[in-house]
Each structure stands twice: as C-alpha cells, then as structure tokens.
Structure 1
C-alpha cells in the first residue's frame, strides 16, 4: 500500500473522529505570534476523502494571468488540482518545481488532470515573472482582492494550499502547506483510481 493510501485511511478516520481542529489551532497560534511574515503557513497536513465522504462541490472561476476566462466547470470529468500560491511565499517557491514535475508527468501520460494556480497578493507582472522563472506550464488565476480565493471557502486559509477536485467537482483531497511531488502524485493517482480511470 503506497504512502498516500495510508495517509488517506488515517486522515479519513481522524476526520470522522476529530474534524480539522488541529489546523485551526496552528493558524490561531501563528496569528498570535505576530512574526510579521505576512501570511498563514500550513503545517503540511494532508486530508484525503473516500468517494462516499466527498460532499463539498467547488466551482472555481476567474481570469488567468493571460487574461483568459477559466472555470473548473469546464473540466468536469477530470481531476482538477488547485494550488494557491504567491511569489512572496517561501514554501510556494520551494514547491513550484514539484508541482510542475507532477503536472508535466501527468500531461505526458495523457491523464485526465488539469492544474490551475490561484495567485494571491501579486500584481499580474510579478505573478507572470514567477511563472517564467520556475517554468510553470499550467495557468494561474489572477489575484482579485481575494474574491477568487474565497470561492475555496475555508479550505485554502494557508499559503500555499493544494486542493484536488474529483471528476464531479467534489473536494477529494487537500494539503495545507507545502506539498512534494510524491505526495501530490499519490493523491492524484488515488483520485483517478477511485473513479475507475485506470
């Protein structure tokens, strides 16, 4: 059994018993610290939901950095990987190569997976410069004063955050904080497997 499946089973059990109070405590502690870093960092918590537990449907819409309209509704039937990031965020810089590696590998394999970034607190020019510097091949939605990010509800309080939607647009998994390539690929593979895509 791979690492992501073990995590998924553990998280499913712990969500049933305890909810997400641990993350809230971490966020509250960071806010009280007053360290002036300017954002709430996640602690790397991974949550994965079995198909029967997926209840939250998200439709994410916005305008890409290249001025194109984008909607997750246009990608029903695909796994959608949403990554909330900012060029000013250290963990976002560190995870960018991992996200690009997974996106590229899945695209080359012809998997039904769409990546989309949600930029936070950057000008379009700064965000585009970040994408160029880190060879990010998938689009990102513009920061619009937090309105696009707000469509994710309380699921993306930390920066970075990564949310996976299944083919029905339901939240299937999320990582609060920096994600590495093996964890992300395991989560995507598990969602694809759960939908009979393999």
Structure 2
C-alpha cells in the first residue's frame, strides 16, 4: 500500500506541473484541460513521442515505436481498481470498433501482481498489456496520467494527443479516437 501511495503522490506532483502548460524543450505549448479531466493538445502543439517500451504481461517485449503510423490508445490499469473493471468492456468495444481504421490499444498494468493482472484481463480484453508494477512508464510521458485508470491517446506520429484522467465509456472515448485517427499524419 505504501508503494501505491508513493507512486500516486509522485504522479500527482508530476501531473500538477504538467497542468500549468504542456512544454517541450523549453517551448510553451497551448493545450486545454476540460472540467471532466480531458487534457488535449492540438497537432501543432504536441511534444516529441515518448519512449515507451517494456515487458508484456503475457511475456515478450513491446516498444510503442513499433506502432508508428497507427493511433495508439494506452490505458493505465490495475486489477485492484474498481473503475478499471468498469471500463474494460468499453475499452474493448472501442478497440474492436476502431482497429480497422489504424488504431491499436495497449494496456499498461501498474502496481499489480502478474497472476492477478492476467486473471483480470482473461476474457475482458484482446489487446496486450505492458507489465509495469512500479509505474515507471507513466513518468516517460510529457503529460502523465495522475491516477488509475487513465487513458492516453497517441497520434500516428506517436505524440500525446489526449490524456483522460478518469474511467472511460465507449460513447466518450470512441469519438476522440476516431477524430485523432482522422487527422492527417504528421512527421515525428
């Protein structure tokens, strides 16, 4: 429990700094945050792609840079998280509805035990998850999620387009993903 509190505190502190404005290499970015926890940057305001790679929950490794050219939806979750259980069906439905348009999903399991995480995923989602018990991958993000669940949408160039710091529903997430997928591909 202390590790969860420490990680949550660290992520909250990093997120508080990020909320002041989206920055990249000293340049001020103009991004917006809505009252319902959605943080979004316009295509010309997005920072360089984050480096996200690690061990998959089911074994093997994965590097998000492999998905350049696709929109990537990252969902930070834990088997111990009730809102994560509630949103799993909506994430899977959005994945199934958008994958034909060049969208891929990737879970990021945090603060969990591998057996519990695998049991949680079984029969819920068909996309893979990175296994990140210490929650280090969130720190690689310029605009990190500050709690779990959180969903990050990367554009086709691998840059952070949207951060949703709340549980998602298909009717809210799918239009966002479709809008990002419809953007013209930008160079990274």
TM-score range, shorter chain: 0.7 to 0.9
The answer on 1:102 being equivalent to 2:101 is: no
Greater helix share, structure number:
1
Please tell me whether the aligned partners of residues 138 and 144 of structure 2 are also in contact (alpha carbons under 8 angstroms).
no
Structure 2 unpaired stretches of 5+ = 1-17, 21-34
Query: Residue 57 of structure 1: CA displacement?
Result: 2.0
Are the equivalent residues in 1 in contact too, given 2:112–2:133 (CA < 8 A)?
A: no
TM-score by length of 2: 0.76
**Greater strand share, 1 or 2?**
2
Shift of the 158–55 alpha-carbon distance from structure 1 to 2, 3 Å rule, reads same
Q: Is the 8 A contact 2:113 2:133 kept in 1?
A: no
Distance of 1:44 and 1:115 partners within structure 2: 22
Listed as ranges, the gaps of 5+ residues in structure 1 are: 1-18, 22-42
Partner of 2:46 in structure 1? 54
State yes or no: 1:67 paired with 2:59.
yes
Q: In the aligned structure 2, how far is the partner of 1:154 from the partner of 1:191? A: 17
Q: How far 1:176 sits from its partner (Å)? A: 0.5
Contact in 2 for aligned 1:118/1:141 (Cα 8 Å): yes
Q: CA deviation at 1:44?
A: 4.2
Q: What's 1:83 paired with?
A: 75
Q: Deviations over 1:6-25 (max 9, x none)?
A: xxxxxxxxxxxxx726xxxx
Matches of 2:67 and 2:153, distance apart in 1: 12
Q: Does 1:120 align with 2:119?
A: no
How big is the shift at 1:125?
0.7
Quick check: 2:47–2:142 contact (8 Å CA) kept in 1?
no
* Alignment length (residue pairs): 154
TM-aligned CA deviation for residue 63 of structure 1: 0.8
Tell me if the contact between 1:123 and 1:143 (Cα under 8 Å) persists in the aligned partners: no
**TM-score, normalised with respect to structure 1:** 0.72
Q: Please give the root-mean-square deviation of Cα atoms over the aligned residues, in Å.
A: 1.8
